[in-house]
A and B are shown apart, each in its own frame.
Chain A
């Protein structure tokens, strides 16, 4: 390191117009200016649409080590246990692609993408067809010691409101006579996912507390 200034304030955003719309920074809006904006955003209650309309996030604490929870979630077959209605998982001919039955809707194709270093587990799914897995369940397991100063895990889970929720892009793949589409359930995702999160919590906590393998041996066989 040479003795150059480490203060980058002079160069930050120097490539952008000074009055770029949408920017609120202390250089242009002091504390007194933003307080009304901030306070206006603090409500007693929030409309469901505002909180769960575009993105649906549920989080919970699980009294079980994060690596254990991550490992469990990273096994596609764990969904057989902790989801409300996904059952009967089978591998397809395509590597990594699974087929299960959502007892609420029918055939669900699914691929699990997990990254151990960040403890992220993403389930890419779709009803009816496995070519375009547009319905993505994004999960991340945190070490509760880091974020809450207690042993265990914090599980973050978000779904984004993909436009296909509003209209089935592949109507030709839908089974005859089925009237409901997965997107019809979007507004139930928050309480529905919270319920499944509770399932996940109960399963992992029981196994961990009773010295059972959190990921049962049958899943990895």
Chain B
């Protein structure tokens, strides 16, 4: 089996940095406003009005081209993208991104499931393709762009949950190499939990039909506690499964990077893996819930700050939607900036 390595990582945050005041101002009551101020992230970034998902994808990839050379990126055999809110509902960003980058990979895949764990899933998919074909490199891009779009609608921004999401994108370059090996991956699907996250419009209509209600993402209210308990369980569970797979104890994890739906999950997950807070960095207060972009954005942020040493063990772990998917992966880091 060929070893696949994570060669480099990059990310992009939209310029529009929105403070919690924005949502507190629109909160339906003083109590909600108070809740927003103290429970939501201090900041989140919102996609610009005229900014498409593919623009964000391209901006996330730009540093990779700058550092690795345009030829490296031009030669990728695999391009996999995940876009939370596609520019056109019938397809993702892959095709247009390839056009803009001027590349013709053998494989262009728009992965539309995997949610907050999509980054891990895309790595797994790319590795699988590389280990069973001639493909030797892959570009992976995750775009989260719903916060500045449906969360800012006049009827949706008054809801407390609208203050949580943030927009951003992350990208990484994978290659057949021994330099920064992906040591283990574990992806699990839980179809029994697939119906608990829905798109809601009130009064009801198909989201693309004209009408008065504003589209939002919602969770089955009666199942909130169950979904929370699921999330508490799933992220440590898949991370532990990877630890077992590669024969390490969780205490050997140098950097744990997870999705970041809220502060409680972050606390519970590191408690479960018995890791100190400094080994579990997040970007929640700056970026909010970045969904599928959280892992690459946090990894890139930490990496650029020189806090992930080459040779150290990085564990990624996340769960998706209301618990229908979870994925974790371990990497022997090798993408530290030159001179770090």
Contact of B272 among A36, A38, A40, A45 (CB under 8 A): A45
**Distance (whole angstroms) from the CB of A35 to the closest CB of chain B:** 9
Q: Is B271 an interface residue, CB under 8 A from the partner?
A: yes
By CB atoms of chain B within 10 A, which of A36, A40, A44 has the most?
A44
Contact of A43 among B39, B225, B235, B268 (CB under 8 A): B268
Which residues from chain B contact A39 at a C-beta distance below 8 Å? 228, 264
Q: Is A42 an interface residue, CB under 8 A from the partner?
A: yes
Which residues from chain A contact B31 at a C-beta distance below 8 Å? 32
15 contacts between A and B (CB under 8 A): A32-B31, A38-B225, A39-B228, A39-B264, A40-B264, A42-B228, A42-B232, A42-B264, A43-B232, A43-B272, A44-B232, A44-B236, A44-B268, A44-B271, A45-B271
Chain B, 206-254, CB within 8 A of any chain A CB? 225, 228-229, 232-233, 235-236
Known interface pairs A32-B31, A36-B39; A43-B271 also in contact (CB < 8 Å): yes
Interface size class of B (residues with CB under 8 A): 10 to 19
Q: Is B23 an interface residue, CB under 8 A from the partner?
A: no
Interface size class of A (residues with CB under 8 A): under 10
Task: List residues of chain B with CB under 8 Å of any chain A CB.
Answer: 31, 39, 225, 228-229, 232-233, 235-236, 264, 268-269, 271-272
Which residues from chain B contact A36 at a C-beta distance below 8 Å? 39
Would you call A44 and B39 a contact (CB within 8 A)?
no
Which residues from chain B contact A40 at a C-beta distance below 8 Å? 264
Chain A, 1-52, CB within 8 A of any chain B CB? 32, 36, 38-40, 42-45
Task: List residues of chain A with CB under 8 Å of any chain B CB.
Answer: 32, 36, 38-40, 42-45
Docked CA distance A42–B271 (Å): 12
**Distance (whole angstroms) from the CB of B33 to the closest CB of chain A:** 13
Residue in B closest to A46 when the chains form the complex, CB atoms: B271
Which residues from chain B contact A43 at a C-beta distance below 8 Å? 232, 268, 271-272
**Distance (whole angstroms) from the CB of A134 to the closest CB of chain B:** 35
**Distance (whole angstroms) from the CB of A11 to the closest CB of chain B:** 30
Docked CA distance A38–B228 (Å): 11
Residue in A closest to B39 when the chains form the complex, CB atoms: A36
Docked CA distance A45–B271 (Å): 7
Which residues from chain A contact B271 at a C-beta distance below 8 Å? 43-45
Which residues from chain A contact B235 at a C-beta distance below 8 Å? 44
Would you call A42 and B272 a contact (CB within 8 A)?
no
**Distance (whole angstroms) from the CB of B248 to the closest CB of chain A:** 19
Residue in B closest to A40 when the chains form the complex, CB atoms: B264
Which residues from chain A contact B272 at a C-beta distance below 8 Å? 43-45
Docked CA distance A32–B30 (Å): 13
Residue in B closest to A33 when the chains form the complex, CB atoms: B31
Docked CA distance A39–B228 (Å): 8
A32-B31, A40-B264, A43-B271 given; 11 more Cβ-contact pairs under 8 Å: A42-B225, A42-B228, A42-B229, A42-B232, A42-B268, A43-B268, A44-B233, A44-B272, A45-B268, A45-B271, A45-B272
Residue in B closest to A36 when the chains form the complex, CB atoms: B39
**Distance (whole angstroms) from the CB of A177 to the closest CB of chain B:** 39
Residue in A closest to B267 when the chains form the complex, CB atoms: A43
**Distance (whole angstroms) from the CB of B10 to the closest CB of chain A:** 31
